[in-house]
């Protein structure tokens, strides 16, 4: 699957996920009686005592949503864009620090979300949102190790290896799933009566996440082409001075010994 295929998949699926809330026009799939698997009888609606517990924990839900959105709509994409478009010494280390910060932010959101899913008097764990959250967390948990293997193996062999492709594609899939899961989280909160996001909130998240995702994909494609264009058979394509070549190699994390520049 190429970046173009992933882009088409996101564009085709995201509007469906983010636009199915009945309160924003058309049939309301979140009204009482549409789902009887929430720990109470759907035909009776949400019992007052259950709704009171949900209302008391809305701020916890908001913290979860804000942290997760910060991680997937801002930090993870920016860290990826940086390593594809940037060019300065120690870039790979800055990328690592940036993505570590993003992962810690998501870890906090994941912990809050897991607490909500296991402590609320409604069935949340069987829904798509927490399930995808568990999958994304599992994928990202191994990314730091895969990133180090990708870096050092590239320096050794001057080409991408299995670890490189694993690190790159797990990152692409996890970030995309994380963005889509934000929309699923809004649907789950609305459907259970936990929180009813306004049309402005839904539109704001959808537009922001979609624009950031498209920017991230564009940077990945453009950055990859530019870096490949600099290298032909392991040597810079243009006729820059040896000092410029040394600066480029140092920027990408490879000692200036005539080998190919580091290509993340």
| Of 128 and 33, the one with more pLDDT | 128
The structural domains of the chain, with segments of one domain joined by +, span 46-251
Q: What is the pLDDT of residue 224?
A: 73
Would the pLDDT of 249 be above 70? Answer: no
In percent, the amount of the chain with pLDDT more than 70 equals 67
What CATH number labels 46-251?
Answer: 1.20.120
Number of H helices, E strands in the chain: 10, 2
| Of 215 and 242, the one with more pLDDT | 215
Q: What is the pLDDT of residue 91?
A: 86
Name the average pLDDT for the chain. Answer: 75
Average pLDDT for 32-41: 42
Considering 48-62, 83-97, 151-165, the range whose residues carry the highest mean pLDDT is: 83-97
DSSP string, 6-68: HHHHHHHHHHHHHT--GGGSS--TTSTTS-S-SSS-GGG---HHHHHHHHHTHHHHHHHHHHH
Query: Which positions ≥6 away from 24 have C-beta within 8 Å?
Result: 199, 202
Angle, helices 162-192 vs 58-69, to 10°: value is 150
Would the pLDDT of 42 be above 70? Answer: no
């Amino acid at each position: 699957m190429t970046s173009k295929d992933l882009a088409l998949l996101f564009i085709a699926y995201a509007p469906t996920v983010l636009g199915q809330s009945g309160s924003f026009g058309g049939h309301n799939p979140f009204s009482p009686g549409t789902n009887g698997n929430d720990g109470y009888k759907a035909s009776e609606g949400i019992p007052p005592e259950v709704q009171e517990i949900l209302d008391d924990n809305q701020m916890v839900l908001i913290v979860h949503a804000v942290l997760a959105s910060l991680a997937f709509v801002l930090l993870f994409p920016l860290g990826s864009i940086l390593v594809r478009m940037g060019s300065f010494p120690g870039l790979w280390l800055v990328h690592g620090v940036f993505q570590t910060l993003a992962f810690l932010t998501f870890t906090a959101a994941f912990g809050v979300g897991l607490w909500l899913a296991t402590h609320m008097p409604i069935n949340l764990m069987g829904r798509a949102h927490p399930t995808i959250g568990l999958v994304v967390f599992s994928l990202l948990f191994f990314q730091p190790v895969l990133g180090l293997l990708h870096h050092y193996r590239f320096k050794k062999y001057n080409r991408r290896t299995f670890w490189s492709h694993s690190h790159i594609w797990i990152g692409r899939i996890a970030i995309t799933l994380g963005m889509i899961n934000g929309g699923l989280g809004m649907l789950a909160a609305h459907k259970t009566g936990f929180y009813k996001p306004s049309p402005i909130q839904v539109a704001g998240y959808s537009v922001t996440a979609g624009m950031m995702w498209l920017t991230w994909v564009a940077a990945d494609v453009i950055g990859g082409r530019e870096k490949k264009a600099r290298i032909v058979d392991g040597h810079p394509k243009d006729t820059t001075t040896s000092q410029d070549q040394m600066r480029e190699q140092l920027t990408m994390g490879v000692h200036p010994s005539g080998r190919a520049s580091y290509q993340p």
